[in-house]
Structure 1
Amino acid sequence: MIITTASVESGISAEALAPRLREHRKSGVFRTVVVPPALETAVRDAGLAFIAVDAGAARTKSQFLGLLGRTLSFPSWFGRNWDALEDCLTDASWMPEPGLVIRVEGFHTYAQTDPDGFAILLDIFKTSAEYWRGEGKAFWVLFVGAPAADLELPVLIV
């Protein structure tokens, strides 16, 4: 089932979403409209770690990467550049068992002010998800509240 606004309003449950989140082979970068409480419950029920990123104040690459670094508790050597982001996202020393769900909200400002940088960010998230699938761990990045016209990503399917 594709999660849409209508399915959320009709009661998509955490119980329906949790098994999908456990499937590391299907994890990746998606957009979703699942309301935060249901998403957080599903992540907890799936046994995964959960990190919420509110990027509403980020307008530049440096601001966005700094916010990610702080929110994801990256090491002190994180240099707010694309290579360092990819290095940190694929560093096994911090990846929780059996995986992680990152919810990103408020990304529209950065996506509009730096569309090329935002495209690179999406590519790095996708590459990181692919890496973790190969390691047998779920790595989900869910962009919340993203209309289809704003973000060319698949909708999370359960």
Structure 2
Amino acid sequence: MINVFQESPQGIQTAPHDPRILAAGHQVALREVNFSEVRDKDSLMLAFLRGLALTESFGRNWDALYDVLTDPEARPERFAILLTDYAAFRTRQRQLGPYLEGVLLDAQAEVARQGRSLWLLAEETGYDPRAW
């Protein structure tokens, strides 16, 4: 299997086994955003605030999220976001999911234009779609 960090980021990818260890070995800064408690846009923005260690000045809207993800002063050159329980979130939040995905993919493209890398890695922890 190809190591995800040896390739350019390509959309939202399945997280590899032991993503934290792999990221460290490839000099990729990795932060985790946990979607297990996300029920609405406010809790989604709070998950990013916590996961990315943002300050309370974070605007908690789509534009603010895009800005923090694409700011070369705020993010390392090689950066990964581990999206924990992402598939379950997408199942629960059928309206919210596409907006978030658009912001994440637009940010990934902008970061690439800057000559930097933003991996978006979906990690599932015991997700069973039949449980929803």
- State the TM-score, normalized to the length of structure 1: 0.70
**Unmatched 5+ stretches in structure 2:** none
What is the one-letter code of the residue matched to 1:83?
A: D
Give the equivalent residue in structure 2 for 1:123.
102
Maintained 8 Å contact 1:86/1:128:
yes
Q: How many percent identity over aligned positions?
A: 21
Give the equivalent residue in structure 1 for 2:50.
70
What displacement does 1:144 show? Answer: 1.6
What displacement does 1:74 show? Answer: 2.2
Q: Which has the larger radius of gyration?
A: 1
Distance 1:115 1:129 in 2: 22
Root-mean-square deviation (CA, aligned residues, Å) is 2.2
Alignment size in residue pairs: 126
Distance 1:99 1:33 in 2: 16
What displacement does 1:22 show? Answer: 4.6
Give the equivalent residue in structure 2 for 1:40.
20
**Unmatched 5+ stretches in structure 1:** 1-11, 151-158
1:55 corresponds to 2:40: no
Give the equivalent residue in structure 1 for 2:65.
85
Give the equivalent residue in structure 2 for 1:135.
114
What is the one-letter code of the residue matched to 1:55?
A: F
Give the equivalent residue in structure 1 for 2:90.
111
Higher RCO (CA < 8 A, seq sep 6+): 1
